[in-house]
A and B are shown apart, each in its own frame.
Chain A
Amino acid sequence: MKLIIPVETRTLDASVCPSFGRTPFFALYDLETGGHEFLPNSAAESQGGAGIRAAQLIADSGAGAVVTCRCGENAAKVLNAADIKIFKAQDGSARENIEKFQKGTLAVLTHFHAGFHSGGAQS
């Protein structure tokens, strides 16, 4: 299975990006092989609905689980429909979070916020 994590820069030593929809990159990590790649987040520049587009990108990447600090309601709907599990990131780097995920010490994310950006409303 592949794990995907929003990261600030193209390295596993980068901290997990606090923004899900507008993270600059996603680290896609293969738990079987340890291989990994960094996907630029095309949703980051969205006028609105960035979470939905980011979730679409994750669904298209073939990841089975995402580790994130937070996640909006709409993005969660897409991830759930795609059968992708959502885990709560802990302080530290992407690499540390991958290790915690492998040990089974990351909790499932249960709180989904209503969105900070109003889904692109005309403000």
Chain B
Amino acid sequence: MNIAVLSGKGGTGKTLVSVNLACAAERAVYADCDVEEPNGHLFLKPEGRKRTPVTVTVPDLKPNLCTGCKRCVNFCKYNALAYVLDQLMIFPEICHSCGGCMLLCPAHALAQKEREIGAMEEGQSGTVATLTGCLNPGEESGVPIIKALMEKLPEEGTAVVDCPPGSACIVMESIRNADFCLLVAEPTLFGVHNLAMVYDLVRLFHKPLGVVLNKCLPEENPAEAFCLENGIRILGRIPFSEELGNLNSQGRIAVRENARYRELFQNLLKEVTKEAAL
């Protein structure tokens, strides 16, 4: 079962929930898709790390073959090519790797070149196999890295996908193969706005979903109210606790340190498994 953990903004507790959920399972794969700032490894501290570069295919000009017909320039929807003073210019960082320019070039002046945009790291942390996506600084899109991570997810067993924040392309790619989407919500009005955004996204994908309420206080919880209004199942509640905050700030995993949290996340996993089977 592939469980995607997501939220509309950063700092709601996606990594807390993902890491602890993976550790609460007998065995699991944890995939960190927050490729711009992967931080699951700070908690899981994976061993035997193996790094595989992730590349995208971009055009490379073969000297002296270009006839200056500009078909590639006119074709490129993203304007990754220009032709001035008898010289073709390529902007690889703007290229979306569609390959159209290479197909169209009548002079076969454009060859394929692999451009590294980041890497995927595999490792092991106790019962949890880890996959970490890392996008190089300055790169525009982490989608190719998410795709590489998704290919590594097993068909069988529990996989927890720690999604990037928000509801953009990179999140869509992260939830594409999910069997269940677990939305992490915090008890603020801002949090509710962001919860609504991912809720809409997950519904567009027709994925079964549930919410885990994080940072719960005794006071009224606007995220809970949103769930009740929209008929969204609340699968777990994580208290706003100093103990949990301390464990987290020290890079420790609550489930591995504390029986109470072990039970909390095992129950959450059970609830998710039950819901996903419906």
Contact = CB atoms under 8 A, between A and B. Distances in A.
A52 B81 CA distance: 8
Which of A48, A74, A83, A121: most chain B CB closer than 10 A? Answer: A121
A49 B84 contact: no
B143 A74 contact: no
Given A48-B94, A53-B79, A119 B140 contact: yes
B278 interface: no
Nearest to A21: B79
B170 A52 contact: no
A55 B94 contact: no
Contacts of B169: 122-123
B79 A48 contact: yes
Given A56-B73, A74-B94, A122-B169, A48 B82 contact: no
A81 B86 CA distance: 10
B79 A81 contact: no
B140 A47 contact: no
Contacts, number: 70
A49 B83 contact: no
B277 interface: no
A74 B91 contact: yes
A3 interface: no
B164 to A, nearest CB: 12
Contacts of B69: none
A52 B143 contact: no
A110 interface: no
A78 B73 CA distance: 13
Interface in A79-123: 81-83, 118-123
A43 interface: yes
B85 interface: yes
A59 B93 CA distance: 22
A48 B81 CA distance: 12
Contacts of A46: 77-79
B96 interface: yes
B89 interface: yes
A39 B96 CA distance: 28
Contacts of B77: 46-47
B100 to A, nearest CB: 14
Contacts of A122: 96, 140-141, 143, 168-170
Nearest to A73: B91
Interface string B157-178: 0000000000011100000000
B80 interface: yes
Contact of B82 (A47, A56, A83, A120): A56
A43 B79 contact: yes
Given A56-B73, A74-B94, A119 B78 contact: yes
A52 B94 contact: yes
A52 B93 contact: no
Contacts of B250: none
A119 B94 contact: yes
Interface string A57-87: 0010000000000000010011001110000
Nearest to B73: A56
A50 interface: yes
16 contacts: A47-B78, A48-B78, A48-B79, A49-B94, A50-B79, A55-B84, A56-B73, A56-B83, A56-B84, A59-B82, A59-B84, A81-B82, A121-B140, A121-B141, A122-B96, A122-B169
Which 3 interchain pairs have the tightest Cβ spacing?
A: A49-B79, A121-B140, A82-B84
Given A49-B78, A56-B83, 15 more contacts: A46-B78, A47-B78, A48-B94, A52-B79, A52-B80, A52-B94, A56-B79, A59-B84, A119-B91, A120-B79, A120-B94, A120-B96, A122-B140, A122-B169, A122-B170
